[in-house]
Structure 1
Amino acid sequence: MKVEFVLQNFTEMNKLWVRMQHQGPAREKERREKERRELRDLVGKNLHVLSQLEGVDLDMYKDVVLPRVLEQVVNCKDEIAQYYLMDCIIQVFPDDYHLQTLETLLGACPQLQPTVDVKTVMSQLMERLSNYAASSSEVLPDLLHVEAFAKLSSAVVKVIEAQPDMPLVGAVSLHVALLTFTLRVHVDRLDYVDQVLGACVKKLEGKGKVKDSKATKQIVALLSAPLEKYNDVVTVLRLTNYSKVMEHLDYETNKVMAVVIIQSIMKNNTSISSSEKVDALFELLKELIKDSEGAPSMDEIDEDDFMEEQNLVARLVHMLVNKDHEEMFKILTTARKHFGQGGPKRLKFTLPPLIFAALKLVRCLQGHDAGDEALVSPKKIFQFLHQTVEALSTVPAPELALRLYLQCAEAASDCSLEPVAYEFFTQAFLLYEEEIADSRAQVTAMQLIIGTLQRTYVFGVENRDTLTHKATGYSAKLLKKPDQCRAVYACSHLFWLEEDGGTQDGERVLLCLKRALRIANAAQQMSSVTRGSSGPLTLFVEILNKYLYYFEKGIPQVTSNLIQGLLELIGTELQSENTAQDRAVDAFFASTRRYIQFQKQKGDDLAERYSSIQVVSPP
């Protein structure tokens, strides 16, 4: 009897509450609204009392209370009342009651007025159920038993169909709520997660790129939820509908989402270990990797933002890893295919890390005789490297391409592939000749070429002679005399290699040093004409130190007489009235003299060789 009384009281109060908004003159509206608010609280209190009555067990709630309450909710056809009452039902009755009557409760949602905020009502219900599931491991079997996901998923579809005028943001919000529930209750069911995303895709079909900012925000929330839950992009890549949802984001939001995905990979140190996964991932990131439809022109893009995005993509390359060499090569080839569509401005960011990843793979294969017919071999990787660096050289980014050609040449040398190493050096020299015109860039390029050539031991006599001849020739043609001088004496190292079987040609070492000395002398004479600069004298001291280096190496052609003559020459020049005083040069020369004096006093075999050199301090 108590239950019937409270239900009847609830029904009458609700009817009165609904009628009151349409009664009385307009001037009494404020007083009437106050009375309505008070009556609303009483209506809600009736539901609270029902939830507390001793006789209201699960069977009574399922068979009597809920059907009667929902009947009143649906029949009142008042937007405010329906929203309030549904909220009260969800809040005041126990979670296990909702679980056992889920189908009945959800069945009322599509029957509510189109203007009712159903998404919030259902979101609150799903949140309560997911919290209930999280509270105890014993709840999950009950959720599975009543097929909660299937019922909630069906209800979302029915609500959206029943309200064709529902704003897009409302429909997407419902899917966000359902996905949140799924990720909390059925985290291991990727098929459920993908089903929710698929249902959202159906709602977005035909709408193209979503323009509404609120709906866009909800789509981003939908896409972010699996990333945050799984902390593993590889898991997300298994969701076939994930990329389909992303297709509906506008260009800028798609880029933001792509950045979020990369940041997730970096944060969780996620390895992308197959070419198929790389393919799927780069499809998600395509707004960062290549120009797509609707993208602004490169001239309209903020340069700093663009560089930051591309550096992020470049860092991603180092997360593409697999210990299997064949699969790793497939990964690099797949990445190269995607990056190749990026346009010149992107290539200088994305190709270098790809080249270094390929060089790392070459090092792993070094010493393994895979054979030319193998799916992956050093030769095949070097072909890949050649094509990739060549693409970079046409960007144009000649200085970067030259550095990478030299890196490849050194790796080919370590793999004992002389023709391959020679080809990379040839390409580096061609770039130097045809593309690098700035004098400072030429100096840097020659330093790199000489240094790399010095570290390569694979070349036979003929090839090494050709390359060293080129290097010394270009060194002597640099624009400024000091640069010429330093490059030429650096070339001397190309003719005296410490490695077993390496070139050791004392005559040509001496030729380089003498040529550097002539250039330094010419620079000194020019300095005298321009009325005093001690700059060229530094070159003499540098060359003296080179002579000392080779003297200690025991090269017969570098004699103590040559060193003695150079010491006297520098001393004479320092005393010349045409030479400006420079403390740095004085200190450098003094330090060199002290070194010679120290070697003379050591008492070993080297001291004996130094004994004939006379060190006289200038007055």
Structure 2
Amino acid sequence: MCRGVQHPIRGLFLRSYLAQVSRDKLPEIGSDYEGDANTVMDAVEFVLQNFTEMNKLWVRIQHQGPGTVREKQEKERNELRDLVGKNLHVLGQIEGVDLEMYKETVLPRVLEQVVNCKDKLAQYYLMECIIQVFPDEYHLQTLEALLAACTQLMPTVDTKIVLTQLMDRLSNYAASSPDVLHEFLQVEAFAKLSNAIGKVIDTQLEMPIVGAMTLFVSLLTFTLRVHPDRLDYVDQVLGACVVKLSSVPKLEDSRAMKQVVALLSAPLEKYSDIVTALTLSNYPRVMDHLDDGTNKVMAMLIIQSIMKNDTCISTADKVEVLFELIKGLIKDLDGTNVEELDEEDFQEEQNSVARLIHMLDNEEPEEMLKIIYVVRKHLMTGGPQRLPFTVPPLVFSAVRLVRQLEAQGGNIAGEDVPATLRKIFQILNQTIEALSSIPCPELALRLYLQCAEAASDCDLEPVAYEFFTQAFILYEEEIADSKAQVTAIHLIVGTLQRINVFGVENRDTLTHKATGYSARLLKKPDQCRAVYACSHLFWVDDPEGIKDGERVLLCLRRALRIANAAQQMVNATRGSSGPVTLFVEILNKYIYFFEKGNPHITPSDIQSLIELINTEMLSDNGNTTIHSDPFFSSTLRYIRFQKQKGGVMGEKYDSIKL
């Protein structure tokens, strides 16, 4: 009946029945039917013949009936495909079908039928069956034949899925045992797969770009799993991707873009080290084909990989390549308008770049200086919106190098350390100047002061003075907001107080400027606090520090006059006494310098100030008690404690009456 001319569907079911009832009667090794007259080859021939005839019947279904029912026929054929595939399943289970028989007989006959049937559905399904049914070892040893068949499939067959499944099977097989890897090297699996994929992409002109990218992703995944040590293979895959992308005017397919991102992400995930990816010459060439948005996404993934793995980029060359990769975050790409970007996303991106800068380090000062030059070159192209985020970490990296050089001494690249330090400070000055011209004066002022302190630690008085000069110029010309002025003055005073490199003349000039600015602040309370803060400029609690008690007292008295003027203004406005906080703050400064041994601060000064505060508090219509101000109460409690404790300090406070 099977040999007769059959209706294709009836013939399929009849032969399927034949395969089913004959399964346990095949003369395979170990079966009751094996003998001299019946061999494994007979079993294989029987199943192959049945498979061939069933496939022909299955393909014929599409030619039955009018063309109007073609869609229905395709659906029926899809439902019947397992009947044909069972033959391949039986072939894979026959005991005695070794690699040699599979290589010489089984696979050639099956592939011949697959290629010659010229049917899209049959070719796709049968190739899928071959990959799933037969052992991975057989696939590896017959890889050339399998790939040759893939290149001969109909152009409409989705070859990328077939090849992807094959590579997945092979890569899993490679991971199963270290001994297997030697087999992959012997058969040159990568070269054969790479050539086959190239042929498929070249011959299937209608293949969308997303299909080609999917194939490259699968090949790269296979390469990273099977040959993780062969970076040249990885770079070769990326190079083939570049060639394909170059043939497309513009990559606009979002699915293809995702595949490119997957391609670029794979080396990062495998090696957990961006330094390895930086050695791949084609990596940045692939990134050049991403659109601006995707380029930024990929740049963020690179930075996240560096942060996650705590990777240190230690050479200027690698930093150059890295910043080329993340240039989408560093500067405006073609057609990008920063104003149109989401502010939160933009800040997150720039903060990521700022964190990245701290991951660039080298213990060799000469190389670290080169890194700073490279980073500065790239960051200066960032534009006014980016510089406030990226300049501070660059400045602190350079300051760290300064302190490293100052600690090490010795020579660097044939130059003495002071010359190199001056060169670095010159770079810092130019960098911060670019920031101050944005304008972003408050941040620039802070950075100038940081550099001044670093220069002081290196005993470079002229450099430190120059940075202070720049800070004062910024204060005078750019900082107009009263709150910002207050903050700036306290920063200037605090930094100047810590610096001991200045000679008498330079220090007098700077302290005079600072006290002058303090006294000219807009609000009286701000003036008062800034002026009494300046008192610390004349008394540094350090064995070698300045100790000018007379000028300390002048500052405190000036602050007291300003506080008194502020109190009178409040009294005039309210019609009653105002808070005495400023007086109490000044009292605490008197106590501080009194305990530090300033001979110009006497117990009578403290006594007078306490009485003044009491008077002011009691004058508020008689309703305010001394204990209503917690700050003042705490101060008096401290004085009582010192008196009760006795000793040298207790004797100092004995004459003060509370």
**Same fold per superposition (TM over 0.5):** yes
Partner of residue 157 from structure 1, selected from 198, 201, 221: 198
Report the 3-state secondary structure (helix = DSSP H, G, I; strand = E; otherwise coil) of the residue aligned with 1:530: helix
Please say which of residues 63-72 and 422-431 is displaced more in the overlay.
63-72
**2:655 aligns to what?**
612
Structure 1 residues 369, 130: CA separation in 2 closer, same or farther (over 3 Å shift)? closer
Amino acid of the residue matched to residue 236 of structure 2?
Q
Partner of residue 366 from structure 1, selected from 398, 403, 406: 406
Q: Does 1:335 align with 2:375?
A: yes
Q: Does 1:448 align with 2:487?
A: no
Partner of residue 416 from structure 1, selected from 459, 476, 481: 459
Q: How does 1:140-179 map to 2 (within 5 A)?
A: 140-179=181-220
Please say which of residues 527-536 and 415-424 is displaced more in the overlay.
527-536
Structure 1 residues 384, 37: CA separation in 2 closer, same or farther (over 3 Å shift)? closer
Q: Does 1:273 align with 2:309?
A: no
Q: How does 1:382-421 map to 2 (within 5 A)?
A: 382-421=425-464
Q: Does 1:91 align with 2:141?
A: no
TM-score, normalized by length of structure 2?
0.90
**2:542 aligns to what?**
499
Q: Is the 8 A contact 1:232 1:270 kept in 2?
A: yes
Identity of aligned residues (%): 70
Structure 1 residues 551, 40: CA separation in 2 closer, same or farther (over 3 Å shift)? closer
**1:116 aligns to what?**
157
| Displacement after TM superposition at 1:520 (Å) | 1.0
Deviation by residue 1:313-368 (Cα, 9 ceiling, x = unmatched): 11111111111111111111111111111001100000101111111111112244
| Displacement after TM superposition at 1:3 (Å) | 2.2
| Displacement after TM superposition at 1:35 (Å) | 6.1
Q: Does 1:193 align with 2:240?
A: no
TM-score, normalized by length of structure 1?
0.95
Structure 1 residues 580, 420: CA separation in 2 closer, same or farther (over 3 Å shift)? farther
| Displacement after TM superposition at 1:29 (Å) | 6.7
Q: How does 1:115-134 map to 2 (within 5 A)?
A: 115-134=156-175
| Displacement after TM superposition at 1:380 (Å) | 2.1
Structure 1 residues 410, 232: CA separation in 2 closer, same or farther (over 3 Å shift)? same
Equivalents in 2 of 1:193, 1:391: separation in Å? Answer: 41
Equivalents in 1 of 2:100, 2:300: separation in Å? Answer: 52
Q: Is the 8 A contact 2:357 2:394 kept in 1?
A: yes
Equivalents in 1 of 2:627, 2:385: separation in Å? Answer: 44
Structure 1 residues 119, 417: CA separation in 2 closer, same or farther (over 3 Å shift)? same
| Displacement after TM superposition at 1:588 (Å) | 2.3
* Structure 1 gap ranges (5+): none
Equivalents in 2 of 1:579, 1:452: separation in Å? Answer: 44
| Displacement after TM superposition at 1:34 (Å) | 7.3
Q: Does 1:6 align with 2:44?
A: no
Equivalents in 2 of 1:17, 1:287: separation in Å? Answer: 54
Please say which of residues 482-491 and 556-565 is displaced more in the overlay.
556-565
Equivalents in 2 of 1:579, 1:26: separation in Å? Answer: 108
Partner of residue 303 from structure 2, selected from 241, 245, 262: 262
Equivalents in 2 of 1:444, 1:582: separation in Å? Answer: 34
Aligned residue pair count: 614
| Displacement after TM superposition at 1:583 (Å) | 7.9
Q: Does 1:346 align with 2:389?
A: no
**1:529 aligns to what?**
572
Equivalents in 2 of 1:17, 1:430: separation in Å? Answer: 88
| Displacement after TM superposition at 1:484 (Å) | 0.6
Report the 3-state secondary structure (helix = DSSP H, G, I; strand = E; otherwise coil) of the residue aligned with 2:574: coil
Deviation by residue 1:32-64 (Cα, 9 ceiling, x = unmatched): 667645653232122222223344322222222
Equivalents in 1 of 2:121, 2:356: separation in Å? Answer: 51
| Displacement after TM superposition at 1:498 (Å) | 2.3
| Displacement after TM superposition at 1:370 (Å) | 4.2
Amino acid of the residue matched to residue 536 of structure 2?
H
Partner of residue 238 from structure 1, selected from 279, 291, 307: 279
**1:599 aligns to what?**
642
| Displacement after TM superposition at 1:577 (Å) | 4.4
| Displacement after TM superposition at 1:535 (Å) | 4.5
Please say which of residues 548-557 and 466-475 is displaced more in the overlay.
548-557
CA RMSD of aligned residues (A): 2.0
Q: Is the 8 A contact 1:533 1:579 kept in 2?
A: no
Partner of residue 437 from structure 1, selected from 476, 480, 488: 480
Partner of residue 589 from structure 1, selected from 608, 622, 632: 632
Equivalents in 2 of 1:583, 1:179: separation in Å? Answer: 80
Structure 1 residues 272, 209: CA separation in 2 closer, same or farther (over 3 Å shift)? farther
Equivalents in 2 of 1:210, 1:130: separation in Å? Answer: 29
Q: Is the 8 A contact 2:539 2:546 kept in 1?
A: yes
Structure 1 residues 447, 145: CA separation in 2 closer, same or farther (over 3 Å shift)? same
Equivalents in 1 of 2:621, 2:255: separation in Å? Answer: 78
**2:120 aligns to what?**
79
**1:249 aligns to what?**
290
* Structure 2 gap ranges (5+): 1-41
Q: Is the 8 A contact 1:531 1:578 kept in 2?
A: no
Structure 1 residues 19, 511: CA separation in 2 closer, same or farther (over 3 Å shift)? same
Equivalents in 2 of 1:15, 1:420: separation in Å? Answer: 90
Q: Is the 8 A contact 1:13 1:39 kept in 2?
A: no
Q: Is the 8 A contact 1:538 1:585 kept in 2?
A: no
Structure 1 residues 4, 489: CA separation in 2 closer, same or farther (over 3 Å shift)? same
Equivalents in 1 of 2:161, 2:146: separation in Å? Answer: 15
Equivalents in 2 of 1:482, 1:319: separation in Å? Answer: 44
Equivalents in 2 of 1:408, 1:532: separation in Å? Answer: 49
